[in-house]
Amino acid sequence: MNSPNQMWLSIEKEYRKMIVNNVWCSNCSDAVSIAQYVIQEHSTGIVLQGKCKNCGQEVARVVDFEN
């Protein structure tokens, strides 16, 4: 199995950019950009965990991978 970082880098660059710029923030009640994120394993792929670029609230985005 690939590491979470290898899985993230296997996604096309433009699609990664779209993911980073489309994370739900419950504080802003809107889709925002994620900042200061780390990539971790998730049961269905990977998860980006970081902070909302607008307000600093903790946010996360799951990226699923097909088996």
Cβ atoms within 10 Å, residue 40: 12
Residue 66 falls in which region: left (phi positive, over 0), alpha (psi -120 to 50) or beta:
beta
Q: What is the predicted pLDDT for the residue at 10? A: 94
Whole-prediction pTM value? Answer: 0.89
What DSSP letter does each residue of 7-20 carry, written as one string? HHHTS-HHHHHHHH
Phi, psi of 54 (to 5 degrees): -85, -50
Q: What is the predicted pLDDT for the residue at 67? A: 59
Q: Which residues pair with 3 in a beta bridge?
A: none
Q: Give every residue of the chain whose pLDDT is below 50, as ranges.
A: none
